[in-house]
Chains A and B, each alone.
Chain A
Amino acid sequence: DAGVTQSPTHLIKTRGQQVTLRCSPISGHKSVSWYQQVLGQGPQFIFQYYEKEERGRGNFPDRFSARQFPNYSSELNVNALLLGDSALYLCASSPYSSRNSPLHFGNGTRLTVT
């Protein structure tokens, strides 16, 4: 059974550019969350989507946006990239949106902004 898949695995962008990261959840999982992990820190919550609706948003600027598609896959978009956006972006899926539903993580997309 395939786990959470993310693409691309690595990405290099220039300041001011825009980037789109993609995530496919585990089959049957309807909730997708996005996390940013800066080197030396734990993952930080960006968004959660459940049944194609945004359910929660972390403390990130409006340059960050996301969406979920009818097949429950998701995209994270970041506009006007800054050097500080360089990080590992993790996608996590779970069957439900409730508390009793642990997260299953992908391997992440390593974004480098130069």
Chain B
Amino acid sequence: ETGVTQTPRHLVMGMTNKKSLKCEQHLGHNAMYWYKQSAKKPLELMFVYSLEERVENNSVPSRFSPECPNSSHLFLHLHTLQPEDSALYLCASSQDRGILADTQYFGPGTRLTVL
């Protein structure tokens, strides 16, 4: 238990569906992250939020839409996804003290399958 929870743990959706992934951190951190982990690529950073402001958007397609309503919650809204978007989506948080490489605490991930 890392203090970062993600729901759902597994999700199967069609290409025309709209769904949302939820992440919650109980660590009092002020930065949150979405990563994509697929079988054939390294772990890819998608979005970074610090103090609820988006500070990084790594050229992610617009069919992925993040939302950070407060420092404890992070959502990833999904619509009209493609089969190649099937992957493990990981959420992480860190204290963001502005020092070298804060420790990032990861949730268990949501295994997404797009049919």
Question: Do A and B originate from a single complex?
Answer: no
B interface residues (Cβ-Cβ under 8 A, vs A): none
